Structure 1
Amino acid sequence: MTTRREFIRNAALGTAAVTFSANSYARILGANDRIRVGIVGFSDRFRSSLSPAFLSLADELNFEFTALSDLWSIRREEADKFYKSRGITLRLARNNEELYNGKDTDAVIVSTADFQHALHCAEAVNAGCDVYCEKPFAETMADARIALEAVQQTGKIVQIGSQRRSAANYIAADQYIKSGKFGKIVMVEMTWNVNQPGRWRRPNVVPRLREADTDWNRFQMNRPPTAFDARKYLEFRLFWPYSSGIPGQWMAHQIDTVHWFTDLAHPRTVVANGGI
């Protein structure tokens, strides 16, 4: 029996020279299988890392970007220019409500402020989308539970991204430990020494942000309402309650590595020290 894919391929091959470009032919073949992906937050990391990784595999895996949501008008303008220069036209949304009302996304990549991740994940799955979400998943247990409940109720697929999971050296270490050659693990000591006074500060970007160009109330989500502050918007990692500081930024990497290498759900005891 001829499958739908084979039928379309044979029909298209007969007329491709007249009707279809190679690109449009590929789109026809995979139209029913293509995954339409929305972008929630056009962050610097999304632009420099997540988007290139996605686009490098989009054709092979039959994915495409269809829409983008960002509260800040400048980010939307930058995204529009960024993707049009690559031959991609996105529907631009001022917020996630507009994004999901468009009904043109099957999945989303969440790349917003860290404290928003869990709540944006919950919004996405409740809107019927699968989710790839940056780490950290949440900055409070309350937010984590909101998202977990939403994911469990909807049955949607969610992946939390942590770059070590894709690093060849960490993958090799995991394989070595699980081979048994390393021996039994009885204790893990994690240390991360950093001296970067300017880290997480955006002095060149903060002056560009005006309250009229974004939606400060939506940005704060379930945090206590406060007066607009461009630094808290763009340098959120430096301020409570928008960040847990070092635990959310770096300990999340370390803890995830231990979970991964040991297959342990949680430690029996923990000791931590350090400061900001």
Structure 2
Amino acid sequence: MEIRYATNPTDFKHYTGERIRNDFLIENLFEEGTITMVYSHYDRLIVGGAVPTDKPLELEDKETLKTEYFLERREVGFFNISDNKGKITVNGDTYELGKRDCLYVGKGNEEVLIESVDPSSPAKFYVVSATAHKTYPTQAMKLEEATHRHLGDDSQSNKRDLYQYIHADGIQSCQLMMGMTFLSPNNMWNTMPPHVHDRRMEAYLYFDLDEDEKIMHFMGSPEDTRKIVVSNEQAVLSPPWSIHSGVGTKNYTFIWAMAGENYTFDDMDHVDKNDLK
């Protein structure tokens, strides 16, 4: 598992574009036949991708976590971002996940196996794990069962549909929150005007992009912003002190995941667009 360390916002002002990409962009999450994971020192979040082929993939990394099993002191959320069906077996109970389906697995589950229903057409699972101090039951959820919010409008090119899966009024968890946002056709901006939430970090996975389309992900302090050029199925770590906003060369989909002190989805400090620099 790769380790990413936290950054002081004052030091961040002096980073080159290459350093920013190395610290915050996760480029190669989905490799066939393996689980790829990145451990962030921002709220101890783990971001990963799993593409099972001819054999099940076990969620584990004893060497990094120094625990007997992965979920000894953690919880985890899975999203199937592919058109191909997959299944996850948790302590002997199997859950089949289709496109855009989510599975939450709570603290204390010792064995988690990830498979594709058809190994020749492997599923792609996005994986996010946070530390946990309480156990909540394993639960699956489909897109149509998630809490739905309409946001933005065509006049500002930010019309989008947000679906909350793991949150206070949905799948219960200790601190992990996850959901998915779809940009409508001819709309490219997300989270604009931007905001920060200093009590939680966030990670974004951008997907549903053609190979030659890109996202400009904006981050940094509101008065000193930077950008990262992001391709399809790449993720970005967003520190609590940073804005997080993006614009694409066309519409796209992203999964957001948050962890930290506060469990309130709407706990955020909005930033006036006139204050951005």
Specify the TM-score bucket, using the shorter chain as the normaliser: under 0.3
Task: Decide which structure has greater strand share.
Answer: 2
TM-score of the two chains, using structure 1 as the length reference: 0.26
TM-score of the two chains, using structure 2 as the length reference: 0.25
Larger RCO (CA under 8 A, 6+ residues apart): 2
Higher-Rg member (1/2): 1
